[in-house]
Amino acid sequence: MEPERKRSGSTLKKGRKRRLIPSKVVGAAEATRSHWDLEERQQPVAKKARLSTVLFAENCEVTHGQLCELLKYAVLGKSSFPKPSWCQLFHQNHLKNVVVFILQGLSQLHFYKFYLEFGFLRKAFKHKFRMPPPSSDFLADIIGLQKKQIIGNLPKAMEGSLPFASSKVSINLQKDPIIQKYGSKKVGLTRCLLTKEEMKTYHFPLQGFLDCENFVPTKCNGSVTDNSPLFGLDCEMCLTSKGRELTRISLVAEGGGCVMDELVKPDNKIVDYLTSFSGITKKILNPVTTKLKDVQRRLKILLPPDAVLVGHSLDLDLRALKMIHPYVIDTSLLYVREQGRRFKLKFLAKAILGKDIQCPDRLGHDATEDARTTLELARYFLKYGPKKIAELNLEALFSYQESQEPRNTAEGVQRLNTSVLECLDSVGQKLLFLTQEADASALSSSKNCQTIKCLSNKEVLEQARVEIPLFPFSIMQFSFEPFSPNLTEEMNKRIKIKWTEMSTVYAGPFNKNCNLSALKRLFKSFGPVQLMTLVLETHQPHLCIQYEVLEAAQLAIESLDGVLVEGSCIKVQRPVTELTLDCDTLVNELEQDSENRGTIYLSGVSETFKEHLLQHCSIFLGLEAMILPKDLKSGKQKGYCFLRFKTFGSAQRALNILTGKDWKLRGRHALTPRHLHAWLRGLPRESRLPGVRVIPPPSEQEAWQMLNVDHPKIAAWHWGRKIEKLYHNLCPGTLCLILLPGTRSA
């Protein structure tokens, strides 16, 4: 593609109040992340967040509201929202990021028209589903954005609301220690920094002190302003023969993204892992090779010159790191109490943010969760100011916290109607939205959304590489030229004809005195037949069989081609047209599609097959779903089914058993997912007979022009590769969705 214009510098800064991590930090941060297999070796007890294998039974369309359900649950989890009604997200608390790619202008038609070009999308994404036509503001629908939020401010009910404080207590704000220290007006970041005298008083490591002789400075000596970037920091320690030593460090950027989460092996012998606090065990730490000096070196690379570290009792974390840093915000001191006492982080998280951390049913603390919480507390303080904090009357809340009931049902119902933006705001996080200047959306004007407008898709991609790691929730919108209505109609017809021809086989030659009834029974044994005709135009008779599903046609070819039937060695093949020339390649790629891996197709199943299978479920390990299609008119079960298994190996073993002598079924690995069946049924019917030409042959010049870089097929391949590279840079534990919303048309 031709080089894109460079975007003006003013656009990038538009709408930003505080500078986030510079681009050089991202490169270093990405280097700290590894794939899941490495992470599992370091933390063998850790669980992965994953979307369920089985999303659908009868229906394979997901509404915009259902998609919003998943996104809200991914942000806040089951403590605040019920699980999505249409799928399962396991171990949501281990989910680190949510990234949504929107390919504006593309649809399911594009995906299957250019199926071979979208190699990465079909192989990497295990779950594919249909969506209804987009509304005028598709983005607002999928994140649940209400019209009242378009102006910019979020509803007041979400602004600093306390989950368990429904009544206001009469208090004297002037006597509140927070007001006495900071005043009643909002303060900037620099006002929240600990002074050197305060750091000395609270035993922070400082240069020149005898007990800090071997400590390493972070070399952050830049000029700090109210726009300097914040980083949440939390460390876990164990007890060694020399005292407390570092075992884990988590560093979170202001956008909410975790830029460093590392296990560390102490230099000295461990006498107590302090597992109840740290969550660290001998088994977890055994394979770890990272040392304290490695962490120190990487921190010096990661932190920009004016970085501000935020933590809770941060002096202990810096001493565990044996590092000196001049710019700190300590939330245990920021939310100041009377007589020098300090609130616990768990209490502040519940009272200020309405979130539960350090849950008793969890083994130890989650360093990343604690680091992110301290960052959210600092942002809350800066956003709402000391007066808002004083009005919460934290001392009174603390005194009767244990007697408070959890959120009432009405509050829970109100949360169901909140948007993804409100969910993020309630935990002190922002949504990142990358789009082109011309693509207006209500989302871009929302207050809790960091919008970056670009001049091209290429620039959206470049910005995404830099910004995605810094935010827990990101939406990237790429814009493509949609098919014209006339071309869309023509493409729909071609797709319908192509799948019809691929599901059609010609078989023969047969003897003139062959048993036609036996032949029909034979070919029907591979799957449901829509049309079977006898071809008499040839010297010897042939049969034309049009199957309902592609698997049946493929099974007939694989089972009977070159086989002696009714005294004749027959050939079974598809019609050869311009639409089926690449069908062998397409069939091979469909079998490798991630959604079809682990799924088998069976023909010849009876009405009692389901009960029979369940009676013998012990021999079919890993079975997750059974899909038994029914006739839309009669409601009766059809004679075929799909079985989905957890792994390809389990599916292969089941296939060998079910096609063996005991079950006597016909089957193979699946080629077509459920959503494709439903979509093809919705396409306009065509009366074209297999083999009849539908596309006029282009001239040599026209054919050559179709291969230029602007052709949709080339664009599909090109952007599929671009998105693949970006996808592989996402951190482990990321929920990634790619949406092709399509366009509205008559």
* pLDDT tens-place string over residues 103-114: 888 888 888 888
Instruction: Lowest mean pLDDT of 80-84, 283-287, 307-311, 380-384, name the range.
Output: 80-84
Residue 682's pLDDT is 65
Q: pLDDT band at residue 372, thresholds of 50, 70 and 90?
A: very high
Q: Are 485 and 746 in contact (CB under 8 A)?
A: yes
Model confidence at 39: pLDDT above 80: no
Q: pLDDT band at residue 46, thresholds of 50, 70 and 90?
A: low
Residue 701's pLDDT is 53
Could you give the C-alpha distances from 582 to 112, 408, 585, in angstroms and in order? Answer: 13, 60, 5
| Count of CA atoms in the C-beta half-sphere (13 A) of 359 | 7
Helix (H) or strand (E) holding 454: strand 449-454
Q: pLDDT band at residue 246, thresholds of 50, 70 and 90?
A: very high
Other Cβ atoms within 10 Å of 217 Cβ, number: 15
Model confidence at 404: pLDDT above 80: no
Question: Cα angle at 76 between 70 and 79, to 5 degrees?
Answer: 105
Residue 201's pLDDT is 87
Q: What percent of the chain has pLDDT over 90?
A: 34
Q: What is the largest CA-CA distance in the chain?
A: 106
Instruction: Residue count of the chain, please give it.
Output: 746
Residue 351 is classified by DSSP as I
Strands 529-535 vs 599-603: parallel, antiparallel or unpaired: unpaired
Q: Are 665 and 605 in contact (CB under 8 A)?
A: yes
Burial zone of 704 (CB within 10 Å; 0-12 exposed, 13-18 middle, 19+ buried): exposed
Q: Give the pair of three-digit tokens for residue 686.
A: 């065509």
Q: Give the pair of three-digit tokens for residue 707.
A: 């291969």
Among candidates 243, 249, 252, which has minimal Cα distance to 274?
243
Residue 61 is classified by DSSP as B
More confident residue, 621 or 137: 621
Q: What is the mean pLDDT of residues 14-40?
A: 37
Among candidates 192, 190, 194, 174, which has minimal Cα distance to 387?
174
More confident residue, 444 or 459: 459
Distance CA 327, CA 308 (A): 5
Among candidates 469, 409, 491, which has minimal Cα distance to 716?
491
Helix 583-592 with 550-560: angle, nearest 10 deg: 110
Phi and psi, residue 715, nearest 5°: -65, -40
Model confidence at 148: pLDDT above 60: no
Q: pLDDT band at residue 171, thresholds of 50, 70 and 90?
A: low
Among candidates 709, 708, 688, 676, which has minimal Cα distance to 580?
688
Residue 166's pLDDT is 37
Helices marked H in 503-619 — which ranges?
516-524, 550-560, 583-592, 609-615
Among candidates 659, 61, 83, which has minimal Cα distance to 643?
659
Q: What percent of the chain has pLDDT over 70?
A: 79
Cis preceding linkage at 134, omega within 30: no
Q: Give the pair of three-digit tokens for residue 324.
A: 């000196």
Residue 411's pLDDT is 45
Residue 401's pLDDT is 59
Computed over every residue of the chain, the mean pLDDT equals: 80
More confident residue, 468 or 745: 468
Instruction: Lowest mean pLDDT of 281-290, 438-447, 620-629, 639-648, name the range.
Output: 438-447
Q: pLDDT band at residue 407, thresholds of 50, 70 and 90?
A: very low
Distance CA 35, CA 128 (A): 23
Residue 683's pLDDT is 64
Q: Whole-prediction pTM value?
A: 0.58
Q: Give the pair of three-digit tokens for residue 650.
A: 């389990």
Instruction: Lowest mean pLDDT of 169-178, 542-551, 568-577, 695-704, name the range.
Output: 695-704
Residue 53's pLDDT is 53
Model confidence at 170: pLDDT above 80: no
Residue 697's pLDDT is 47
Q: What is the mean pLDDT of residues 199-225?
A: 89
Residue 112's pLDDT is 85
Model confidence at 196: pLDDT above 80: yes
